[in-house]
Amino acid sequence: MATNAISIKSDAGLSAALAGDSMSGFEELYRKHYRRVYSICLRMTGNVAEAEDLTQEVFIQLSRKIDSFRGEAAFTTWLHRLTVNQVLMHFRKRSVKSELTTDDGEMPDSIDPDTINPEAMPIIDRIALENAIAQLPPGYRTVFVLHDVEGYEHEEIAKILSCSSGTSKSQLHKARLKLRRLLKQRAEAA
């Protein structure tokens, strides 16, 4: 993932946090990154309480593991990976069934040319989109958030989720179609 890459030298708070056990240095690090970490957690789980707990856990893990950060990767990339791993571990712990490995019977939404509304989709508002993402099945949501929101490539997602990049592509496609249907349903209900 090339986005959001920053060097260790430019990361305010990181040097201080690495230099010792200063809480003020770590707080600076938190202030700089907490919104991104929380946003990833929130969009992957679709649940505020879980996202807050996971954000907490990510930063606790960060405080334990920050000594092991050697600067081979950009810190933000490293922190992203730590966050994603934490969310995935959480999914495994609570036994969320992932559509990545099971056939959930959820077929991609196909469009029947006879019933399609030819009008273009109404403009998406942010809240509607956030809600629709939260309604996605966890497996779809994970791939969608990683690819379309966070900018990961399919190969990276495949590594993170221990699946093939073909599976990642397929899940993404299903997720997008599902989102489209959810947004349309909402627009029609309004």
Residues that bind another protein (CB under 8 A): 21, 23, 26-27, 30, 34-36, 38-39, 42-43, 51-52, 55-56, 59-60, 63-64, 108, 110-111, 113, 116-121, 123-124, 126, 129-130, 133, 144, 148-149, 151, 169, 172-173, 176-177, 179-180, 183-184
Please, what is the minimum distance in Å from the beta carbon of residue 25 to another protein?
Answer: 12
For the record, the structure tokens of 121 come out as 């989709």
Q: Rounded CA gap, 115 and 81, in Å?
A: 42
List the Cα angle 34/35/37 in 5-degree steps.
65
Closest to another protein by CB, 20 or 72: 20
CB 183 to another protein: min, Å: 7
- Residue 153 CB, shortest distance to another protein, in Å, is 10
Nearer to another protein, 26 or 91 (CB): 26
CB-nearer residue toward another protein: 23 or 89: 23
CB of 67 to another protein, least distance (A): 13
Closest to another protein by CB, 80 vs 95, is: 80
Question: Which tokens is 51 given?
Answer: 């996202």
**Rounded-to-integer distance, Cα 133 and Cα 129, Å:** 6
Cβ count near 152 (within 10 Å): 22
Question: Considering only CA atoms, which of 54, 3, 59, 53 is closest in space to residue 32?
Answer: 59
Distances (CA, A) of 108 to 41, 55, 173, 179: 25, 32, 8, 11
- Shortest CB 109 distance to another protein, Å: 9
Single-letter amino acid, residue 146: L
Q: Which two tokens stand for residue 160?
A: 């993170």
DSSP annotation of 3: T
Minimum distance, C-beta of residue 173 to another protein, in the bound complex (Å): 4
Nearer to another protein, 161 or 183 (CB): 183
| Residue with smaller CB distance to another protein, 15 or 34 | 34
